[in-house]
Amino acid sequence: MLALPLRYFLFCFVLQTVRWHIELQPWASPTPSLNYEASRFLKYISTSQISCEHMNLNSLKGYSKTTKKPWSICLDERFSLIHRIRSKQCRLYSLGLGNDDSQFELGMASSGCEVHRFDPSARAAHSQEGPRLWYHRLSIDWRDPNPAVAAHRLRSSTKKLGTVLNEFGHQKIDVLKADVESAEWKILENLILEDVVEQIGQLVFEVHIHWPGFEVSGNDSTVVRYWYSLLRELELKDFRLFHTYKDLSKPQMFLKKEAFNASSCYTLSWLPSALTQVF
């Protein structure tokens, strides 16, 4: 019997470990129903799974400004973030657009975090705007650019978060904040499938539910089942929801319908339940 080459076993190992799709949760009812799917999903994103007493920058020494949006991070002593901020070892990645409020990033930088803001409308490819604040003209996506497409034909530079981490030489992100206008679902899926989420301390995502989101297909009940399944995958990665903000200033829409007493926009904050203090 001929010995199989090592590359064959490596190839088989990769096939067994790479995930291409998340596992969908069972339907919320015996027959697929938007009412049941929406009820389950909205209850899930509105229910805290772990407690946190200190959730804003105002609790940090020397910080007096308030942010326009509730970008809630957990600063309880039992978790690592507050200790990494005090020791000037924390790192924040912020994904957003040019019109997004930057007060949160400025506050984190002034409090001791190394802040990297990824914004496709930034003036320069890479620029340092303060002692601990960098801007990158880069859009974080759920896929890397097609190598067959010339760089000058791309509207902006887009890369997966895992690719950026490797290029920057960063092993850890203490906080990942994202306001990416409905790209969040596919980006979050990519972070889960490629295990990049395991390199992140806390997640603060603005999620939009007025339409399915980029490249999310199917009828309404299928879309909501996918959203719910994605968040349950995050839970399987040991992340727990500790804060939810329902934005009443945005249109009160759920998949283009005024229904379920839902807002079109929520800000959700998670942290790993097993996160320990790091000094």
Per residue in 204-219, pLDDT (tens digit) is 999 999 999 999 999 9
Residue closest to 178 by CA, chosen among 205, 140, 209: 205
Q: Stretch 16-24: mean pLDDT, rounded?
A: 78
- How many other CB atoms are there within 10 angstroms of residue 70's CB atom? 18
Bridge partner list, 202: 175
Residue 64 has pLDDT above 60, yes or no: no
Q: Stretch 134-141: mean pLDDT, rounded?
A: 94
- The CATH T-level fold of domain 33-55+70-145+155-272 is Rossmann fold (3.40.50)
Q: With beta carbons less than 8 A apart as the criterion, state whether 262 and 224 touch.
A: no
> Exposed e or buried b for every residue in 81-116, given b needs 16+ CB within 10 A?
bbebbeeebbbbbbbbeeebebebbbbbbbbbbbbb
What's the pLDDT at 70?
Answer: 79
Average pLDDT, rounded, for the chain: 88
Q: Which amino acid is present at 257? A: K
Read off the pLDDT band of 148 (50, 70, 90): low
- pTM (predicted TM-score): 0.88
75-112 per-position pLDDT tens digit: 999 999 999 999 999 999 999 876 667 889 999 999 99
- Continuous H helices in the chain: 6-17, 34-45, 81-86, 103-110, 161-168, 184-193, 220-236
Q: With beta carbons less than 8 A apart as the criterion, state whether 139 and 120 touch.
A: yes
Determine the Cα–Cα distance for residues 272 and 262; give it in Å rounded to an integer: 27
